[in-house]
């Protein structure tokens, strides 16, 4: 699906008339194009076994606003959200709907799709988890190990 950035100027992107592509179940060359257009970064979502990706500079909420304006190009971004940067690894966004363990299980369940995007052995950071753990992990064999803690205070 092809989108024009000027269509979502209210979504916080500087409207310069550039276009970007959202790929559904991308082929290897489409992943490389997306990485190139995203300066090495990719964002995406996996829903019901289908993966959608776009350049990393376009945030999930911006794609959500864009698809609200274009119902024929609708993308449900409320599934398993991820971002990948070649030099920094993975960022998994929970939307305060899932615990860290649930998000890590989703990562494992989708490892075949995610390994097409980037190195699954790089660090994994979880943000906005339901349990507020928001730690940094690394996959070691079949296990995740904590490599950095960023525990947030829970609201009483």
pLDDT band per the 50, 70, 90 thresholds, residue 2: low
Cross-strand partners of 93: 81, 127
Distance of alpha carbon 152 from the chain centroid: 22
94-137 pLDDT per residue, tens: 888 998 889 999 999 999 999 999 999 898 888 888 887 666 77
CA-based radius of gyration for the chain: 16
In which order are the strands placed within the sheet that holds 80-85?
A: 23-24, 50-55, 41-47, 80-85, 89-93, 124-127, 136-140, 143-148
pTM of the model: 0.79
Residue with tokens 């959608």: 52
User: Tokens 């699954």 belong to which residue?
Assistant: 120
In whole angstroms, what is the distance from residue 122 CA to residue 140 CA?
10
Q: Is residue 152 scored above 70 in pLDDT?
A: no
Mean pLDDT, range 33-51, rounded to an integer: 92
């Amino acid at each position: 699906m092809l989108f024009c950035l000027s269509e979502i100027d209210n979504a916080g992107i500087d409207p310069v008339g550039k276009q970007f592509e959202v790929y559904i179940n991308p082929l290897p060359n489409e992943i490389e194009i997306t990485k190139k257009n995203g300066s090495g970064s990719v964002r995406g979502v996996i829903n019901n076994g289908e993966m959608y990706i776009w350049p990393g500079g376009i945030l999930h909420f911006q794609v959500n606003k864009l698809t609200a304006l274009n119902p024929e190009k609708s993308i449900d971004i409320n599934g398993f959200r991820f971002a990948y940067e070649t030099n920094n690894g993975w960022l998994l966004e929970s939307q305060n709907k899932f615990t860290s363990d649930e998000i890590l299980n989703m990562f494992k369940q989708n490892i075949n799709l995610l390994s097409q995007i980037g190195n699954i052995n790089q660090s994994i950071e979880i943000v906005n988890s339901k349990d507020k753990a928001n730690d940094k992990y690394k996959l070691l064999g079949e296990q995740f190990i904590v490599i950095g803690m960023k525990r947030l205070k829970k609201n009483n």
